[in-house]
């Protein structure tokens, strides 16, 4: 997003799948979902802790740490933050345990570098107006990462945009609706290349 907004003439089209355009908004929305999950298992204390963090004005880096701390307390329920209904959208494993461990290791390294660099905390919403190329936003209907506020800002401020929302889908449309996702992305790229 940052590259496309900074150098729009060098990008033919942009595709965003379940992004966070504003990390603070994303983590607050995910904490609300975590609070609902805590309530569903009768842990009102941790549910209230999640909502307390949402209500506080604090540094986004601290918000990130609080989300990781509070979501870990959900244990096996943690993935339900990212999925609709019973959270079984990721039950069919397409990766081996060692591949999943490697993805986790790489994700940790990537996030550590982004946090150290600091630009991860900047909202990209004010840069939407700079996206002059065709832009596609793909999201799941129940994705807590790209909350409704971010979606509406994308629709309002990106001049040449398209939006695809997959029903009964969470944060990973490419995984949960793989065939339809591939078809939609190929169609978009063919249309604009």
Residues 127, 175: one domain? yes
Give the residue carrying structure tokens 């040449």: 160
Per-residue CA distances from 176 to 10, 50, 74, 136, 139 (Å): 31, 27, 22, 18, 11
Contact yes or no for 125/150 (Cβ under 8 A): yes
Can you give the pLDDT at residue 92? Answer: 64
Q: pLDDT digits over 12-29, tens only?
A: 999 999 999 999 999 999
What is the pLDDT, as a whole number, of residue 63? 94
- 155: domain CATH number is 3.40.50.1820
Contact 124, 22 (CB under 8 A): yes
At 141 the pLDDT is 95
Task: State whether 111 and 128 are in the same domain.
Answer: no
pTM across the whole model: 0.90
User: Residue 103 has what pLDDT?
Assistant: 85
Domain tally for the chain?
Answer: 3
Q: Looking at the structure, do residues 15 and 66 belong to the same domain, yes or no?
A: no
Residue 107 token pair: 């994700």
Same domain, yes or no: 131 and 117: no
Q: Residue 47 CA to chain centroid, in angstroms?
A: 21
Please tell me whether residues 189 and 127 are part of one structural domain. Answer: yes
For the packed helices 23-40 and 44-55, what is the interaxial angle rounded to 10 degrees? Answer: 160
Which domain-ending residue is among 70, 104, 121?
Answer: 121
Q: Where are the alpha helices (DSSP H) in the chain?
A: 2-6, 23-40, 44-55, 60-72, 97-117, 148-157, 173-176, 178-192
Regions in the chain scoring below 50 on pLDDT: none
- What is the pLDDT at residue 124? 96
Q: Are residues 133 and 172 in the same domain?
A: yes
pLDDT of residue 79: 86
118-138 pLDDT, tens digit each: 989 999 999 999 999 999 999
Do 106 and 152 share a structural domain? no
Which structural domain, as residue segments, surrounds residue 110?
Answer: 94-121
31 and 17 inside one domain? no
Is residue 181 domain-shared with residue 131, that is, in the same domain? yes
Are residue 183 and residue 140 in the same domain, yes or no? yes
């Amino acid at each position: 997003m940052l590259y496309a907004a900074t150098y729009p003439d060098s990008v033919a089209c942009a595709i965003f799948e379940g992004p966070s355009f504003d990390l603070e908004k994303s983590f607050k929305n995910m904490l609300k979902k975590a609070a609902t999950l805590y309530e569903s298992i009768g842990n009102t204390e941790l549910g209230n802790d999640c909502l307390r963090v949402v209500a506080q004005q604090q540094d986004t880096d601290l918000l990130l740490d609080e989300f990781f701390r509070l979501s870990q307390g959900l244990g096996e329920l943690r993935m339900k933050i990212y999925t609709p209904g019973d959270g079984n959208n990721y039950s069919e494993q397409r990766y081996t345990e060692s591949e999943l461990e490697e993805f986790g290791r790489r994700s940790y390294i990537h996030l550590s570098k982004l946090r150290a660099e600091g630009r991860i905390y900047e909202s990209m919403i004010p840069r939407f107006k700079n996206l002059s190329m065709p832009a596609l936003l793909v999201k799941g209907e129940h994705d807590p990462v790209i909350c409704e506020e971010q979606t509406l800002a994308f629709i309002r401020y990106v001049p040449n945009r398209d939006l695809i929302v997959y029903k009964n889908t969470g944060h990973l449309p490419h995984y949960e609706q793989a065939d339809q996702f591939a078809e939609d992305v190929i169609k978009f790229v063919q249309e604009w290349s």
